Amino acid sequence: MGGSIITFRKEWESIMKRSTVTLGIMGLIGFLTACGGEGPIQPPPPVPAEYAGKHMPAGWWTDPKIIEEGKKIFIGEFNIDVNCASCHGKDGKPVKRGARDFRTKERMMLYSDSTWFWRISEGVPHTKMKAWKEKLSEEDRWKVMAFEHAFSHEGQPSEHTDYKPAAPAAAGSK
Ligand code: HEC
């Protein structure tokens, strides 16, 4: 009698262990899906004419002083009203759903400096990403961008030489 109870308990425990692992995995998948809510990688829309001529000042992509200042802007140290990290995450891991993950190189290499600058300046309509041009000077926008850029390069300063514009849509041509 007692023997069978022990056997039963052992079996029960092993079932519980397995289901805990399963639940854990399911939870993890759910978590990743919820946090990674960025959707498929799509090229950004074409940059408006007024931003097309804007470019990162020479040498700024890799200038440690510029990047350091960009970091201060990004984490809200420069101005508490400007805290990119409150959504995009201090270490580039988004903390708010849908916020762009700058570590995703495949996406960020589709952004020219002008497009990236335009988005910081004017925001993305119908999303939590607002326009920052009232709060950040042009120089500050370039600085914060130089800092953001390092996220897709393992935190190391880098020229944006991996910029690769998406091929124009083939459909409907000719
Ligand atoms: C309140 C949350 C929030 C804050 C604060 C915020 N962002 Fe964003 N950001 C977002 C979201 C959400 C998106 C994704 C928008 C979309 O769906 O295209 C985004 C997208 C972006 C993009 C990519 C735009 C695109 O076309 O995909 C850039 C660049 C960016 N943010 C930079 C910044 C910078 C720089 C700051 C600080 C000055 C900042 N963000 C502050 C939420 C935020």
Does 127 contact ligand 1 (Cβ within 6 A)?
Answer: yes
User: Structure pTM?
Assistant: 0.81
From the CA of 130, how far away is ligand 1's center (Å)?
7
Nearest to 140 by CA among 67, 44, 91: 67
What pLDDT score does 76 carry? 98
- Atom 18 of ligand 1, residue of closest alpha carbon: 124
What pLDDT score does 67 carry? 98
Q: Output the DSSP codes for 1-59.
A: -HHHHHHHHHHHHHHHHHHHHHHHHHHHHHHHHHHTTT-S--PPPPPPHHHHT--PPTT
Identify whether the C-beta of residue 121 lies closer than 8 Å to the C-beta of residue 141.
yes
Alpha-carbon gap, residue 137 to 173, rounded angstroms: 40
What pLDDT score does 34 carry? 43
Does 129 contact ligand 1 (Cβ within 6 A)?
Answer: yes
Identify whether the C-beta of residue 91 lies closer than 8 Å to the C-beta of residue 105.
no
What pLDDT score does 105 carry? 95
What pLDDT score does 169 carry? 62
Q: Exposure pattern of 153-163 as b/e (b: 16+ CB <10 Å)?
A: beeebeebeee
What is the CB neighbour count within 10 angstroms for residue 86?
14
Which CA distances in Å does 16 have to 5, 20, 50? Answer: 16, 6, 62
What pLDDT score does 174 carry? 46
**Which of 42, 78, 88, 126 to probe ligand 1 with, by most ligand atoms within 8 A of CB?**
88
**Averages of pLDDT over each 10 residues, the chain, 174 residues:** 67 73 60 58 95 98 98 97 97 95 96 98 97 98 98 96 82 49
From the CA of 129, how far away is ligand 1's center (Å)?
4
